[in-house]
A and B are shown apart, each in its own frame.
Chain A
C-alpha cells in the first residue's frame, strides 16, 4: 500500500482544506443562497413580462471560488413562445 502511495496517490488533506474554505466562505454569507433565489425570481418576472415561460425552465446558478465568481442564467424558451410585446 505505502509503495503505491508514494508513487501514485496525491495527498488529499490539502484538497479537503481548500474545498472547505471555499464552501464555508459561501455558506457563511447569509445573502449567499438567498441572493440566487432572489435573482431567479426577479429575472423570471422580467422575462414573464414579455414571453410566456415555464417556472422550472429558468435556472440561476452561482459558482464562486477564490479568484472568480460566475453567475450563470439559463432560460429555456418554448418553441411556440408567445411574444407579448415587441
Chain B
C-alpha cells in the first residue's frame, strides 16, 4: 500500500527540499520504490538538489494538462534505480495545478510506488494546500527559531483542517523534523532546545538534523545528503528519521551531544 507523505513547513528556507531529497534517497536505499514530487511550480529546485536539472523534459503540469504521460515525466535517479523524480514546471504559475489533476497524478503514482514524497512550496497558498491535500502523513520541517516554529504551528492547523484526511474525519499523522540544530548553541541557551519546540508544537519528533557544512556540500554537487556522504552527521540523522518513518523504534539522539572533552572545551560548533 503506497504511502503519501508531504514535506511542509510554512516558512521558506528551512530545509523542505533538502529533506525531501535526503529522505527519498534514504527510502530508495532501503529498496523501497520511491518518487519525490516537486509541487513548487514556478520555483522548482528539487531537480537541482537531486542533480537531475539537465534531464527534465516533462513536468507535473504537463502530466496534469495531458501534454505528457506520467512515465514520460518521471526521471529515474542515476544512482538508485528505485528512486524517481517528478519535477515541477518552472515556467507556469501556481494556478496550473488543479485539484482534480493532482488527485489523478497521485492516484496513478500510488499504483507504481511504495512511497510518494511531496515537496511542498513555502507559504499557505494553492501549491502548499494541494501538496498536503492527499497526504497520509506529514513531515513538518522546522528550524529552532521563532518564525519557523510559529509558521509550523499554522501549517499543523491546516493539516488538521484542509486535507482530505481531515475532511473525512480521520487523524492526520504529523511528525516534526527539526533541522539546522546546533546542540552547543542550544546548551548555551542561545537557541531553542528540542524539548522547547516539541512542547510548543506537541507533535512527535521524527528526527533532529544537525547544522552542518555537509548539507551545502551535498546541494553543491547535486546529490541528496544521504547519498553525498552516507557517513556524515546529517546523513545519519536522516537515516534514523527514515527508520522511524517506516515504523522502526529508533531512540532519538541529539546530534553533537557525544563530543570529546577536547571538543567541549575548545570546540565552538558541533559537527
Contacts and interface: CB of A to CB of B under 8 A. Distances in A.
Interface of A: 5, 11-14, 16-17, 19-21, 23-24, 27-28
B198 to A, nearest CB: 11
B188 A24 contact: no
A17 B149 CA distance: 10
Interface in B145-194: 145-146, 149-150, 153-154, 157, 186, 188-193
Given A17-B200, A28-B157, A11 B189 contact: yes
Nearest to B193: A13
Nearest to B191: A13
B257 interface: no
Contact of A20 (B149, B186, B189, B190): B149
B177 to A, nearest CB: 18
23 contacts: A11-B188, A11-B189, A12-B189, A13-B189, A13-B190, A13-B191, A13-B193, A13-B196, A14-B189, A16-B145, A16-B196, A17-B196, A17-B200, A19-B146, A20-B146, A20-B200, A23-B150, A24-B150, A24-B153, A27-B150, A27-B154, A28-B153, A28-B157
Interface residues of B, number: 16
A12 B196 CA distance: 13
Contacts of A23: 150
Given A16-B146, A19-B146, A24 B190 contact: no
Contacts, number: 36
Contacts of B157: 28
B189 A27 contact: no
Nearest to A19: B146
B127 to A, nearest CB: 23
Contacts of A13: 186, 189-193, 196
A12 B153 contact: no
A24 B146 CA distance: 11
Given A17-B200, A28-B157, A12 B150 contact: no
A20 B150 contact: yes
**Shortest Cβ-Cβ A-B pairs, 10 listed:** A11-B189, A17-B196, A13-B189, A16-B146, A24-B153, A20-B200, A13-B192, A16-B192, A20-B149, A20-B146
